Amino acid sequence: MIHHFRHLLVYTFLFSLLVSTSAQISPISQNMKEWYLEERFLITDGNDDALLDRKELAKFSNEFAYYLVDHHFNSSDINRDGYLSFNEIRSRVQTEMKYRTSIERRELRKLVYKFPKLPSNDIGFFYTHPEVVAELFGNLTWMYENASVAKHLLSNYSWTSRHPEVMVVLQKNLRWMVANPLEADRIYTNRDISQQLPELLGWRADHRNFIKQNRLSDKFYLIDFSSID
């Protein structure tokens, strides 16, 4: 009951925002963005108080890395109550996204230093280094900038089945999963991998339902989540 009530409150807030921005953003992209923002907040709010504290944010550190820095958390906490509301987090999406990109580029530079062949996008190198692919699949920046390579690797079902750790990491890349709905739906069908991520059970069920209710093209969506606010 609390979960559904919170959904209603968030949807009411999102609807008012949707009306003001629908003229600038295509309906399908806007729906996906708004769904993503709401759902990642809901799965993180473990005690259902409609507020996120540092402990809750740490459970999804890739998604909320920005707020795990004390200065960023404090500057986002507008009413200074020690928690972040949906409204407070949503108002920082653009800054948060830029921070994530900078962190991911720094991680990519470290990987290139360790593996000089990485920039060549040699498929053979990726097949023999699944641990590197796992790091890259968790890196939204790399996934966007190398979408064709990522798609090639994902299409090799035999290889991905032998390296489930790669797919586990990818399912944690929530923003990418939302931006690639049909690929995400296929990934969700692997129950063995899904069982390794019990914290995402609610997310997966809601995401698959969203995909089912929205007719989406079979393509990689390069949604610019930083343009939400």
Residue with the larger pLDDT of the pair 77 and 181: 77
Query: Which among 99, 41, 101, 106 has a CA at the least distance from the CA of 66?
Result: 99
Model confidence pLDDT, tens digit, residues 183-206: 899 999 988 888 899 999 999 999
Least confident of 16-20, 66-70, 216-220: 16-20
Residue 23: is its pLDDT beyond 90? no
| pLDDT for 191 | 85
Residue 158: is its pLDDT beyond 80? yes
Residue 18: is its pLDDT beyond 60? no
| pLDDT for 165 | 94
Neighbours of 193 (CB within 10 A): 19
- For the whole prediction, is pTM greater than 0.85? no
Measured distance between the N- and C-terminal CA atoms of the chain, rounded to whole angstroms? 30
- State percent of the chain over pLDDT 90: 67
Find out whether 119 and 154 touch, Cβ atoms under 8 Å.
Answer: no
Model confidence pLDDT, tens digit, residues 31-56: 788 899 999 999 999 999 999 999 99
